[in-house]
Structure 1
Amino acid sequence: MDGMDLEEQERLPVQRDERDGDGDGDGGGAKLGCCEKFQRSISKWMLPEQSRNKYLERANCCPPPIFIILISIGELAVFIYYAVWKPQKQWVTLDEGIWNSPLTYKPAEREEAWRFISYMFVHAGVEHILGNLVMQLVLGIPLELVHKGFEVGMVYLAGVLAGSLASSIFDPMNALVGASGGVYALMGGYFMNAVVNFREMIPLMGIFRIVVIVGIVGTDVGFALYRRFLTDEGGMKVSFVAHIGGGVAGMTIGYVFFSSYNHKLLKDPRFWMCIVGYLVFVVFAVLFNIFLSPAP
């Protein structure tokens, strides 16, 4: 990263006060406002030390984190639709409503290609959607404030698609619902940055964020494995492979997007390696589903 050219960035029309120029100090004792304090906290959580000053120079909330908010509203709206207008026996369990949804990924209907993306809007129950919404808002909003909607959106959707394609290859007989692929992509990208830039971030923050992510991932994957293999629920089983596929997408594509703040992404060889690798995987998965899949 150190050898790459920095982009020539002009300050945005809304200039920050000169007290913010030193990055970490209070500018000669001038009291910071709530917005400045919030932006400083975001920079410490999301960026290594050498990138914080540049972020603080042009930090603002315009555009707002619109992608992650809109996608969360969409997922919540679809959940409410199936819970209220197509009532379930229980909100916390699976039932026929979501299985018959045109959004759910089902192996027998995988020729309807939109299902490889649209499954992210359909959730299995209250605990499922709450877990995904909380994680993607808590992590996605700060990421989008720093990296903006295009980068976060690309990583999120790459995780969703990688999750369904990986499931179609490694767990081809099972259905898929939920936004876990996108959520895990955000966590994977953030986790890799926290590990790689550990020395450049506040040590206790680095340890805390790594422990939290590992704890959340371990708990969630453990629950998914339990629900997949050990429960006696009838009907279709839900694949857990999307979690892994989304996480891998995040630790590759997500890591490159989130580690290239203030650098020319197209000049980063890691970017092209990840993009080419991702495209090769997508092409292989498409061919597998057309010619080799054992699914009906």
Structure 2
Amino acid sequence: MLEASKPATLAAVAAAATFVNMPADRRLNGVVLGVCCDQLRAAQRPLPIGLTSTMMTTTTMPEPMEKHLEERRRYWPPPCFILLISLLEIGIFVYEFDELANGDSWLIYRPDRRLQLWRFVSYALLHANWLHLGFNVGTQLLYGVPLELFHGSLRIGIIYVAGVLAGSLGTSIVDSAVYLVGASGGVYALLSAQLANILLNFGQMRHGLAQLVSVGIFVSCDLGFALYSRQFSMETSLPAVSYIAHMTGALAGFTVGLLVLRNFDGGSHTRLLRWLALGVCAAFSVFAIAFNLINSVTAQMLAEQEGEVIKEHLLHDLGIS
């Protein structure tokens, strides 16, 4: 092996001697040429597999494109909340239909029984007729399931229940003599949550403006129908539609949606929007709860005083006092 390497060694020694005997300017040019040749030979050598793949990944592979909102759907866990609440509303409508016709269902919201707190939420499981049920179930399936695919069942459930609760609380303040049935508060919460979703993730949507226009047209038509039917019901014996439940449910859906929906856009305006939404939601909740507490206590005191007056008149008429 030593014999085989002798020619290469002698050639290297001869090249070094020639380089030393060169003039200074030619020696400098030779250094530059030698360095360039060494770099060229190094570039032609095959790299190790791991190093080659690393360099290709960092230099030649394009960066992944940012996902649009439509590509962020999650089918597991499945969107079960809207489906389950829709089936529950259909089943309870069939079961409670006769009692609802008499107005004595234990689920209906009644202002004279507001101390039965479950009625502030349970009224959403009842509907006046098949048309009312079909419209609400169809709308919440149309708008609720896509939201649930993006944001999950828990967030959409919170928004829906908040809309139902806001519908009964708002009605108890503004329209306090109305009995309340139907899931319109929750449905409008889902519609306005679509607006909150557009506001939070507009940069991630391919058709954000079209979604905004479609929700606006739908809400305008339905709210106009609610106002018209309310005016029409005053002239007939048909039950009135509570537009207050629609409006307060929409307010709750928008504010709670800004608080709980996921923000894929990453904008800096999100924190300010959520603080504003929290302030509006907290102010409405505190006022509505305080109003109902004061109103309930006052009504109970008036009822007790009226009972005492009736009792005194009755005893006086009987000659006891």
TM over 0.5: yes
- Deviation, structure 1 residue 208: 2.3
- Alignment partner, residue 84 of structure 2: 70
Q: Does 1:260 align with 2:274?
A: no
- Alignment partner, residue 155 of structure 2: 151
Report matched runs for 1:137-148 at 5 Å: 137-148=141-152
CA radius of gyration, larger in:
2
d(CA) in 1 for partners of 2:208, 2:238: 43
Change (3 A) 1:235 1:138: closer
Q: Is the 8 A contact 2:223 2:243 kept in 1?
A: yes
Letter of the 1:218 partner, please give it. Answer: S
- Alignment partner, residue 214 of structure 1: 216
Query: SS where residue 105 of structure 2 aligns?
Result: coil
What residue ranges of structure 2 are gaps of 5+ in the alignment? 1-63, 304-321
Choose 222-231 or 107-116, whichever is displaced more: 222-231
- Deviation, structure 1 residue 199: 5.3
Change (3 A) 1:103 1:261: farther
Match of 1:102 among 100, 103, 106: 106
d(CA) in 2 for partners of 1:195, 1:287: 31
Query: SS where residue 128 of structure 1 aligns?
Result: helix
Letter of the 2:195 partner, please give it. Answer: F
Change (3 A) 1:102 1:184: same
Report matched runs for 1:194-213 at 5 Å: 194-195=198-199, 197-198=201-202, 200-202=204-206, 205-213=207-215
- Deviation, structure 1 residue 252: 1.3
Letter of the 1:96 partner, please give it. Answer: A
- Alignment partner, residue 47 of structure 1: none
Change (3 A) 1:132 1:67: same
Match of 1:190 among 182, 188, 194: 194
d(CA) in 1 for partners of 2:147, 2:138: 14
Change (3 A) 1:143 1:196: closer
**Normalised by the size of structure 2, how large is the TM-score?**
0.64
- Alignment partner, residue 244 of structure 2: 241
- Alignment partner, residue 16 of structure 1: none
- Deviation, structure 1 residue 271: 3.9
RMSD of aligned Cα (Å):
3.1
Q: Is the 8 A contact 1:175 1:237 kept in 2?
A: no
Q: Is the 8 A contact 2:230 2:241 kept in 1?
A: yes
Letter of the 1:102 partner, please give it. Answer: W
d(CA) in 2 for partners of 1:274, 1:195: 13
Query: SS where residue 155 of structure 2 aligns?
Result: helix
Query: Percent identity between the aligned chains?
Result: 38
Q: Is the 8 A contact 2:258 2:273 kept in 1?
A: no
Report 1 or 2 for greater relative contact order, CA contacts < 8 Å, sequence distance ≥ 6.
1
Report matched runs for 1:70-149 at 5 Å: 70-83=84-97, 86=98, 96-97=101-102, 99-149=103-153
Change (3 A) 1:236 1:113: farther
- Alignment partner, residue 228 of structure 2: 226
Letter of the 2:156 partner, please give it. Answer: V
The structure with more helix, counted as a fraction of residues: 2
